[in-house]
Amino acid sequence: MIKKCLFPAAGYGTRFLPATKSMPKEMLPVVDKPLIQYGVEEAMEAGMNNIGIVTGRGKRALADHFDVSYELEHQISGTDKEGLLKDIRRILEECTFSYTRQREMKGLGHAILTGETLIGREPFGVVLADDLCVGDELGVLSQMAKIYEKYRCSVVAIEEVPRDEVHKYGVIAGSELEDGVYVISKMVEKPSAEDAPSNLAIIGRYILTPDIFDVIRNTPPGRNGEIQITDALQTQATRNMVLAYRFKGRRFDCGSVEGFVGATNFFFERWKAARG
Ligand code: G1P
């Protein structure tokens, strides 16, 4: 069973300026919950209750969010507002939180390597909180954990995207092993539409085996001069099997305004339904 989940959360969130000038992008709320809380709830559902967060400068609000707020709780104690903290209280009861800081922005691979100290030598999940995922029945990480239990190798989540959008993603090529599960033969970070090996794009959910850390250490900078997890996984795929999994559900790219508004509308409908 995978117990740990890493949240790279050091990025600047430049696509959401000025909203993210002094607030971490992971704290942007979709209806009434910050993005990162959706990710943590998804990890928790998959049994990954040890949460590791790779933070950076200006990200203290993340650690404060996953902590008690005595003054606030005292104020609302006994009022009808108390219920609003129910979900976050459960998270605090059931999860542990550890933090480390990434001092320089050298890419997602580098961010994951920075988290090695929080993970150690065991398989772990990775959540990019700005990809907000809603699983059909199970959450996406739970679905992926099942694939991991069966094949015991790294797994990346994928979805089909239009050809003119492949340049925004890591893209895979592979052969289908079972319905929706591909053995990866090739991975390219942000290829042009002409160079893309397919239109199967990696989205921000990974399960990684711990040998990935040594691979990242030996991975030179790639696209945009950054150390890319896609390149490290490509190397891992030449040594061991790496799988891509077409998850069941939908995902909102909350790093873009369109995706963020789409997620807001979707969760607003749920929020209304929950209130009858
Ligand atoms: C990162 C990864 C990319 C992946 C994407 C998913 O890119 O490098 O391979 O497809 O996340 O959201 P970013 O969006 O951080 O540029």
Evaluate the omega torsion of the peptide bond into residue 18 and state whether it is cis, within 30 degrees of 0: yes
Q: What are phi and psi of 242, to 5 degrees?
A: -125, 135
pLDDT of residue 123: 98
Q: Is the CB of 156 under 6 A from ligand 1?
A: no
pLDDT of residue 14: 86
Chain centre distance of CA 206? 7
Q: Is the CB of 159 under 6 A from ligand 1?
A: no
CA of 61 to the centre of ligand 1 (A): 23
Structure tokens at 275: 């209130």
pLDDT of residue 78: 85
pLDDT of residue 263: 98
Q: Is the CB of 184 under 6 A from ligand 1?
A: no
Pocket test residue of 15, 35, 54, 108 for ligand 1, highest count of atoms within 8 A of CB: 108
pLDDT of residue 219: 97
Ligand 1 nearest atom to the CA of residue 202, by list position = 10
Ligand 1 nearest atom to the CA of residue 228, by list position = 8
Q: Residues in the chain with pLDDT < 70? A: none
pLDDT of residue 267: 96
Q: Could you please report the per-residue DSSP string of 73-104?
A: HHHHTTSTTGGGGHHHHHHHHH-EEEEEE--S
Q: Give the integer Cα–Cα distance in Å for 56 and 175.
A: 38
Q: Are 89 and 169 spatial neighbours (Cβ–Cβ below 8 Å)? A: no
Q: Give the integer Cα–Cα distance in Å for 13 and 24.
A: 7
CA of 206 to the centre of ligand 1 (A): 11
pLDDT of residue 73: 81
CA distances from 130 to 10, 86, 149, 270, 275 (A): 12, 23, 26, 19, 26
Q: Is the CB of 233 under 6 A from ligand 1?
A: no
CA of 272 to the centre of ligand 1 (A): 32
Pocket test residue of 132, 168, 216, 242 for ligand 1, highest count of atoms within 8 A of CB: 168
**CATH topology classification for 4-274:** Spore Coat Polysaccharide Biosynthesis Protein SpsA; Chain A (3.90.550)
pLDDT of residue 70: 82
Residue for token pair 């922005």: 105
| Model pTM score | 0.95
Residue for token pair 């699983």: 135
Q: Give the integer Cα–Cα distance in Å for 60 and 138.
A: 31
pLDDT of residue 74: 83
pLDDT of residue 172: 97
Q: Is the CB of 252 under 6 A from ligand 1?
A: no
* Domain parsing of the chain, residue ranges: 4-274
Q: Are 135 and 249 spatial neighbours (Cβ–Cβ below 8 Å)? A: yes
Q: Give the integer Cα–Cα distance in Å for 246 and 155.
A: 10
pLDDT of residue 128: 97
